[in-house]
Amino acid sequence: MLTRKQHQLLLYIDDHLRRTGYSPSFDEMKDALELRSKSGIHRLISALEERGFLRRHHHRARALEVLRLPHMGTEAPVAALASETGFVPAVLSQGETGLDGAFSEASVANDRQTVSIPLYGRIAAGLPIEAMQDDSDRIEVPISLLGTGEHYALTVAGDSMIEAGILDGDIAIIRRRETAENGQIIVALIDGQEVTLKKLRRRGSMIALEAANRDYETRIFPAERVNIQGRLIALFRQY
């Protein structure tokens, strides 16, 4: 369970990220919580990080990432739920507008609010294929699921990621970004023309794109041949 101040700070950071696209300063957080010193903010952030609610990117200034908001049921840390891929699929059946019990009471009111993001066609989870850059098809996604940044969706084709819970026909929700950490599932553009959904591994000057299916081999490329197009954050699935 979170303390009142931890809960208050987490909601303040999340709201600031949604409104501005970047995390608040320590002075802003101190003033928002009416604390006397920034040391109290440091302690609260450390506690939230330890409990799996928050992540600090130490190499960047004002770089806090909200991993989840206080759960309305069990509060098992994300790390305890994640596989070695570093991704726990947040799967929504088609027609749903939110994740049951996944957000705090302060954000439940937003679960029914959606935003339209482009659906770019099929991405291979087996052999790479070129993604269709067509904005005419779009999909409605709950705002509370996305967080900050630009997003798009791709329909998964193939079975190479089934051990990560990603099935043929799933719609992958992607946060557009050009960097990712080892173990994250990414959209990779190979040689400027092949697009695939795989787990990222860096090996010196090489990049390995790993499948989550033992029947598929890992593909290894020089880093300059692979451009990261985004990171998987959620799945939609129709039953």
* pLDDT tens, position by position, 21-46: 788 888 889 999 888 888 888 888 88
* pLDDT tens, position by position, 79-90: 433 444 455 555
Q: Which pLDDT value is given to residue 58? A: 64
Average pLDDT of 114-140?
70
Give percent above pLDDT 90 in the chain: 26
Q: Which residues are catalytic?
A: 160, 198
Q: Which pLDDT value is given to residue 187? A: 93
Predicted confidence (pLDDT) at residue 208 exceeds the cutoff of 90: yes
Q: Work out the pLDDT band at 63, boundaries 50, 70, 90.
A: confident
Spatial separation of the C-alpha atoms in residues 202 and 199, rounded to whole Å:
10
* Pick from 76, 152, 156: nearest CA to 122: 156
Beta strands 138-142; 114-124: pairing state: antiparallel
Average pLDDT of 220-236?
92
Identity at 75, one-letter amino acid code: E
Q: Which pLDDT value is given to residue 216? A: 92
Q: Which pLDDT value is given to residue 23? A: 85
| Tokens standing for residue 109 | 């009111």
CATH number among 1.10.10.10, 3.90.105.20, 3.40.50.2300, 1.10.3210.10, domain 4-79: 1.10.10.10
Contact call for residues 1 and 75 (beta carbons, < 8 A): yes
CATH 2.10.109.10, domain 91-237, yes or no: yes
Q: Which pLDDT value is given to residue 239? A: 67
Identity at 198, one-letter amino acid code: K
Predicted confidence (pLDDT) at residue 93 exceeds the cutoff of 90: no
Q: Which pLDDT value is given to residue 147? A: 75
Q: Work out the pLDDT band at 142, boundaries 50, 70, 90.
A: confident
Q: Which pLDDT value is given to residue 127? A: 56
Contact call for residues 66 and 17 (beta carbons, < 8 A): yes
Please report the DSSP string for 99-140 in residue order. Answer: -TT-S-HHHHTTTT-EEEEEEEEEEESSS-B-----TT-EEE
Q: Work out the pLDDT band at 166, boundaries 50, 70, 90.
A: very high
Predicted confidence (pLDDT) at residue 219 exceeds the cutoff of 50: yes
Average pLDDT of 159-184?
91
Q: Which pLDDT value is given to residue 101? A: 30
* Pick from 136, 121, 125, 117: nearest CA to 188: 125
Domain ranges for the chain, please list them: 4-79, 91-237
Q: Which pLDDT value is given to residue 160? A: 92
The whole-chain average pLDDT of the chain stands at 77
Predicted confidence (pLDDT) at residue 98 exceeds the cutoff of 80: no
